[in-house]
Amino acid sequence: MLTSTDFSGLLNERFFRNFLPVPATNKLRLGVGTPDFQLPDITNGTLVKLSDYKGKQPVLLAFTRIFTEKQYCPFCFPHIKALNENYEQFKNRGIEVLMITSTDERQSQIVVRDLGLQMPLLSDPSCRVFRIYQVGQALGAPLPAQFVLDKEGKLQYWHLFSFLDHNASVETLLKQFN
């Protein structure tokens, strides 16, 4: 796992804004569209707007928890790797995977390089999109969550982090796109 004992960069404004626990309170409804957003895609050097996918292809929004470019959540690191290793499976089925992180653009560039990410990694250091989707927060970073959107942008499935069920598996996520 790519973690280190180097905690530089951990104690920043984002850390303190997300320090106190806030439970996930997602109130989005199944079968209804989700909030639009626009974020930079660090992997491809573009700007991604969620509504650009509407009417074109289904989307998996994978909110992930990365503290710094050197410190990954121990529950999220394996999930990030699994999604990346299976990205072609999603692409072959016409599904786009948008991974969203709260690391800033510089940190996110290092994550993309170090993990060899193929899927888009969207940078949201203000945590605005994490808050819009009400995924919760604790100990310095927003919590992970997954949202499956159909071709029309309507919510078909969501999974919010808990200590009993960290992240939805690749298999569970793929099943939601039938």
Give the integer Cα–Cα distance in Å for 42 and 115. 13
Token pair 């089925």 in the structure block, residue: 93
DSSP secondary structure of 62-88: EE--EEETTEE-TTHHHHHHHHHHTHH
Which amino acid, residue 19?
A: F
Given this model, what pLDDT does residue 1 score? 44
**Residue 7: how many other CB atoms lie within 10 Å:** 11
Instruction: Say if residues 129 and 152 touch (Cβ distance below 8 Å).
Output: no
Residue 26: Cβ-neighbour burial (10 angstroms; 0-12, 13-18, 19+): middle
Domains of the chain plus CATH, in order, are 13-30+53-176 (3.40.30.10)
Per-residue pLDDT of the chain (178 residues; tens, 9 = 90+): 445 555 555 556 666 666 667 777 878 898 999 999 999 999 999 999 999 999 999 999 999 987 656 667 777 788 999 999 999 999 999 999 999 999 899 989 999 999 999 999 999 999 999 999 999 888 767 889 999 999 999 999 999 887 667 788 999 999 998 7
User: Which residue is it, tokens 């996930």?
Assistant: 24
Q: Is 106 helix (H, G, I), strand (E, B) or coil?
A: helix
